[in-house]
Structure 1
Amino acid sequence: MIGRCIGETSLVEVSFISKEMPKVGEYVTLEYDGKIILGMIELLVRGSVSLNGEIYNPDTVAKIRQIEGDDYYIKGSIRILGDINDNLKIPRTPAPPGTEIKVASDEVLNKIFKVENSLKLGHLINQENVSVEVDVNKMVSRHLAILAMTGAGKSNAVSVIIDGLLEKNGCMLIFDMHSEYVDAEFTNGSVNVIEPMINPQNMEFSEIKKLANIPSNASIQERHFRDAFKEANKRIEQGTQESTDFIKLIQIILDEKRQEAEGSNDKKTAKDIMDVYNKMDDLVSKYDRLLNIYVGDILGEIKPGVANVLDLGQVDENTAEVLVAHILRRALKSRKDFVRNNNEKALSYPVFFVVEEAHILAPKNRNPNSKYWITRIAREGRKFGLGLCLVSQSPKSVDSETLSQANNMIILRLVEPQDQRHVQTASESLSEDLVHQLPSLNIGEALLLGLMTKIPTLVKIDEFKGRQRGGDLDIISEWKSQKESKEADKKRQLLEFESQFG
């Protein structure tokens, strides 16, 4: 026994007093009314009746300490998690004051954390011999958010999850904003790097318009571009155009319309069309590596059983937004076609999308196409086997509606109050007391919430056993290497000089 309930108790929370110091995040049991109730210690304070807040002289404190010694009390609050023998249902009666509180046994906890379709993340922070597993089906279908400040262990957590999914022949596509996973090595599967290239004929009007930098308020330019876009599609469908380069075909049509306007002496229209033509010219020169008429559907490059990595480290944010929107749009359309129509040519297996830098691709204060399609997948993907993993070191900058669709969260250390409030707003299960624990988490420690785990959990995530680029550079080593390289060059030049001139 570590303590007893005191004061008024409720169905969801009890206060307790103790003489022994337990740990925040530790699981406890309360037995009453023939039930065994599981709880989690969420808050602890240590105090003294004599050394209260009304004493203002340090000498007085010292004298009282001499007399009383270590005569202090420990108070805390316990969050009620449910009846161990009734599928963790919340009891209908509160615990009587004075009820004994005991540390939950390893046997009880191992039973709770044992789930079907499991993926092992790590072990309990306070009980290392209790493994923590999550339900893969619920994690993927109900979406996941991994949130942390920089350096808290976010990339390690992502790698552990990817490796665990590979063991189950999972299919994931990582939108890799910083080329961290391009040369990664996983113990349960290989990496399939996908180059950021799109066949422009597979793109929607809004996607090419974004690349052409035609703003939404430029209605005249947008109209001319839309007309040329529709005409290009029409000619390709009818087979009346020799050119197979969709962008070039749009330019040909724009040039035809410009000449037509000049022929009728409509100089303003000719100028407006020429402005669009020039923007298409800029598009071709700027995105020549992105747009490739010889590649097929980018979805065809995704393979199950390997870590598919879309290398976005070599493109700018604008291009990354277009690529992500394009892939998610086509994936949702293809999965709908497979599930509803059993189309054998459609995407025939579920995909888990790992969205690195979610605050860039689904930002709070902007509305790029990537944000629209990420939100669509968050809302509709569950029915068609498309899951999301939103990863960010700046939760406050992630769109709140998108974040709220993630029914599972792995929250590592978060210090900034704005980040904490934003995450708490997005998650129904994140209590105020648990929020207060986030700044005290060590590297690799995390709070697990959501449908993938039966109860909120403080976990020490396993260390990833493979290899993955990321983390901070060893600056001193880099400088030292540079110095050694220069010194070696000088020695080589000196030896060459001496060999030539004796």
Structure 2
Amino acid sequence: MIIGRCIGETSPTEVNFISDEMPQVGEYVCLNYDDKQVLGMIETMVRGNVSLNEDIYNPATVKMITEIEGTESYIKGKVRILGDVNDHLKLPRTPAPPGTPVELANKEILKDVFKVKNPLKLGSLINQKDIDVEVNANSILTRHLAILAMTGAGKSNTVSVLIDGMLDYDVPVFVFDMHGEYKDAEFKNGEVNVIKPSINPRYMSFNEIKKLANISKNAFKQERYFRRAFKKANKLVEEGAASTNNFLMIIKGVLIEMGNDEELSAGEKNDILGVLNKVDDLIEKYANLFDTNRGNILGNIQIGKANVLDLSQTDEYAAEVLVSHILRNSLQRRKNYFNKSSNETLEFPVFFILEEAHILAPKRRESDSKFWIQRVAREGRKFGLGLCLVSQSPKTVDQDALSQMNNMIILRLVEPDDQRHVQSASESLSEDLVKQLPSLNVGEAVLLGLMTKVPTLVKIDEFKGRMYGGDIDVIGEIAKYKKDSKEELKQQEEDLMNLGYDY
């Protein structure tokens, strides 16, 4: 079906066209010229009237012209060239001649375009709901993914559809669940394995424990004493002189012994006492985080399950430490597995999903979690570690980490700073597509990257399993509270009457 013809100057990457009918932004079209069948996507549409131009400032003039000429207007659009259908979607080297017909792409072409290896169904085309949109699951795992949207645009549903699709391939998915949205979810293709957010401090790095002990980078003396105690505690454990049952208490004992040295000055003893106080606070504040009886936390990951680390009850410091600890160990153990350099290995790939990426990989603040997110983003694909960053505040996500995400699912974004930040991180997101982001409805998204052959406007499938994360019915909650309160008061009155009180 011909919907228009090319006009003006054309290029191998885009053409303008004029149309008799109003097609929809996001629809795919074909241009046939020079023995090529070139696929394109409509990125912008405008409607105008030559007589009713922007230089008219009098409404009466507009009314008069409309009465004389009627309401006829022209329809103009821009097509982004995606590639030659018959040449593996390579961009053509020659532009389409002006006057070339612009036709809607037929179903056969589109079905072939969305036919990929290792298919994972995310939804259907916004404008053609009978065309399924499948992405290459392997490309997501090896080249990482970002899911970005404003609050309420459908992130949690998208993540759930993605998890269920990965479980269909028995991929061990690991979710850093910041709000407890997935711990009780029910997936069609696999079970949820809830992992307790606790670490054996024996397996923690010095920087991880130091962060929880709240020893700042500027506290050089306290850091020096704490490092000595940490190293001495590890040495005692390795030599068998102390048990790992309470590693933090071993550190405390070493510090007490250091403070009893008569040769130290009063100032030095005071510095050690400051470290001791922070270790006491550490033990008391994070008692639930430390489990001296558990092995390495990576041993809890199960293949073919959604492994959910429930971080809903942990503070930001603990969450950052858990993320850095798990990513650091995963990368090192996968390297050990490939290089056969140690028996401490992770023998299978893992796909990590990090909710609240703007907290774990902040743009304007350094943190261990951001450091290891960046490391895994750069090196993880070589060792079978995939990342998915999820955020409702893209502008505050670290640019380096975001730019390493070679695939993106972008749902509705209204904030201009968010749009610019995402566009600067993705070479596939054109200015015209950016302009479409505020107009997306809930559950609609732009797909970009190596997981799909072409940029796509998709309606994400509705996740059918049970999950949390939607908006709370606040009015309903208040009404229920008032009803329960009235019933409780009435019951108390009845109890008093039964006891013989005249209430």
The TM-score by the shorter chain falls in which range? over 0.9
Q: For 2:496 and 2:394, how far apart are their aligned partners in 1?
A: 59
Q: For 2:47 and 2:192, how far apart are their aligned partners in 1?
A: 51
Per-residue deviation, residues 352-394 of structure 1 (Å, max 9, x unmatched): 0000000000000111100000000000000000000000000
The reply to whether residue 117 of structure 1 matches residue 118 of structure 2 is yes
Give the Å deviation of 1:67.
Answer: 2.0
Instruction: State the SS of the aligned residue for 1:85.
Output: helix
The reply to whether residue 68 of structure 1 matches residue 69 of structure 2 is yes
Structure 1: gaps (5+ residues): none
Question: What are the within-5 Å matches in structure 2 for residues 472-491 of structure 1?
Answer: 472-491=471-490
Give the Å deviation of 1:245.
Answer: 1.6
Residue 270 of structure 1 aligns with which residue?
269
Residue 199 of structure 2 aligns with which residue?
198
Q: For 2:266 and 2:243, how far apart are their aligned partners in 1?
A: 29
Q: For 1:216 and 1:171, how far apart are their aligned partners in 2?
A: 36
Residue 368 of structure 1 aligns with which residue?
367
Residue 316 of structure 2 aligns with which residue?
317
Instruction: State the SS of the aligned residue for 1:414.
Output: coil
Shift of the 129–344 alpha-carbon distance from structure 1 to 2, 3 Å rule, reads farther
1:223 alignment partner AA:
R
Residue 28 of structure 2 aligns with which residue?
27
The reply to whether residue 92 of structure 1 matches residue 93 of structure 2 is yes
The reply to whether residue 255 of structure 1 matches residue 284 of structure 2 is no
1:101 alignment partner AA:
V
Give the Å deviation of 1:265.
Answer: 5.2
Residue 279 of structure 1 aligns with which residue?
278
1:109 alignment partner AA:
L
Percent identical: 61
Question: What are the within-5 Å matches in structure 2 for residues 280-319 of structure 1?
Answer: 280-319=279-318
Checking the alignment, whether the CA contact within 8 Å between 2:149 and 2:155 is kept in structure 1 is yes
Q: For 1:490 and 1:241, how far apart are their aligned partners in 2?
A: 59
Per-residue deviation, residues 79-122 of structure 1 (Å, max 9, x unmatched): 00000011000011110011000000011001110111010000
Residue 51 of structure 1 aligns with which residue?
52
Residue 451 of structure 1 aligns with which residue?
450
Shift of the 216–85 alpha-carbon distance from structure 1 to 2, 3 Å rule, reads same
Per-residue deviation, residues 447-473 of structure 1 (Å, max 9, x unmatched): 000000000000000000001111110
The reply to whether residue 169 of structure 1 matches residue 170 of structure 2 is yes
Q: For 1:345 and 1:254, how far apart are their aligned partners in 2?
A: 30
1:499 alignment partner AA:
N
Q: For 1:128 and 1:66, how far apart are their aligned partners in 2?
A: 40
Q: For 1:235 and 1:189, how far apart are their aligned partners in 2?
A: 43
Residue 409 of structure 1 aligns with which residue?
408
2:58 alignment partner AA:
N
Give the Å deviation of 1:65.
Answer: 1.4
Shift of the 343–252 alpha-carbon distance from structure 1 to 2, 3 Å rule, reads closer
Question: What are the within-5 Å matches in structure 2 for residues 326-405 of structure 1?
Answer: 326-341=325-340, 346-405=345-404
Instruction: State the SS of the aligned residue for 1:180.
Output: coil
Q: For 1:90 and 1:334, how far apart are their aligned partners in 2?
A: 41
Per-residue deviation, residues 13-33 of structure 1 (Å, max 9, x unmatched): 111111110111110000000
Shift of the 265–2 alpha-carbon distance from structure 1 to 2, 3 Å rule, reads closer
2:335 alignment partner AA:
K
Q: For 2:467 and 2:244, how far apart are their aligned partners in 1?
A: 43
Q: For 1:236 and 1:268, how far apart are their aligned partners in 2?
A: 30
Per-residue deviation, residues 398-446 of structure 1 (Å, max 9, x unmatched): 0000000000000000000000000000000000000000000000000
Instruction: State the SS of the aligned residue for 1:164.
Output: helix
2:477 alignment partner AA:
E
2:358 alignment partner AA:
H
Residue 226 of structure 2 aligns with which residue?
225
Q: For structure 1, which segment, 185-194 or 372-381, has the greater mean C-alpha deviation from structure 2 after superposition?
A: 185-194
Give the Å deviation of 1:243.
Answer: 6.3
1:60 alignment partner AA:
T
Per-residue deviation, residues 125-148 of structure 1 (Å, max 9, x unmatched): 001110000000001110000000
4+ runs deviating over 3 angstroms:
342-345
Give the Å deviation of 1:495.
Answer: 2.2
The reply to whether residue 129 of structure 1 matches residue 93 of structure 2 is no
Q: For 1:433 and 1:235, how far apart are their aligned partners in 2?
A: 63
1:459 alignment partner AA:
V
Q: For 2:244 and 2:263, how far apart are their aligned partners in 1?
A: 27
Q: For 1:266 and 1:473, how far apart are their aligned partners in 2?
A: 59
Instruction: State the SS of the aligned residue for 1:2.
Output: strand
Q: For 2:243 and 2:44, how far apart are their aligned partners in 1?
A: 72
Q: For 2:397 and 2:448, how far apart are their aligned partners in 1?
A: 18
Q: For 1:349 and 1:426, how far apart are their aligned partners in 2?
A: 30
Instruction: State the SS of the aligned residue for 2:483.
Output: helix
Checking the alignment, whether the CA contact within 8 Å between 2:145 and 2:405 is kept in structure 1 is yes
Q: For 2:264 and 2:201, how far apart are their aligned partners in 1?
A: 33
2:86 alignment partner AA:
N
1:281 alignment partner AA:
D
Instruction: State the SS of the aligned residue for 1:304.
Output: coil
Shift of the 59–348 alpha-carbon distance from structure 1 to 2, 3 Å rule, reads same
Tell me the TM-score normalized by structure 2: 0.98
Give the Å deviation of 1:339.
Answer: 1.7
Q: For 2:124 and 2:451, how far apart are their aligned partners in 1?
A: 15
Residue 147 of structure 1 aligns with which residue?
148
Tell me the TM-score normalized by structure 1: 0.98
Give the Å deviation of 1:497.
Answer: 2.4
Q: For 2:291 and 2:128, how far apart are their aligned partners in 1?
A: 54
Instruction: State the SS of the aligned residue for 1:225.
Output: helix
Per-residue deviation, residues 276-315 of structure 1 (Å, max 9, x unmatched): 1111111000000001111111000011111100010010
Give the Å deviation of 1:242.
Answer: 5.0
Q: For structure 1, which segment, 83-92 or 181-190, has the greater mean C-alpha deviation from structure 2 after superposition?
A: 181-190
Q: For 2:72 and 2:113, how far apart are their aligned partners in 1?
A: 37
Give the Å deviation of 1:480.
Answer: 1.0
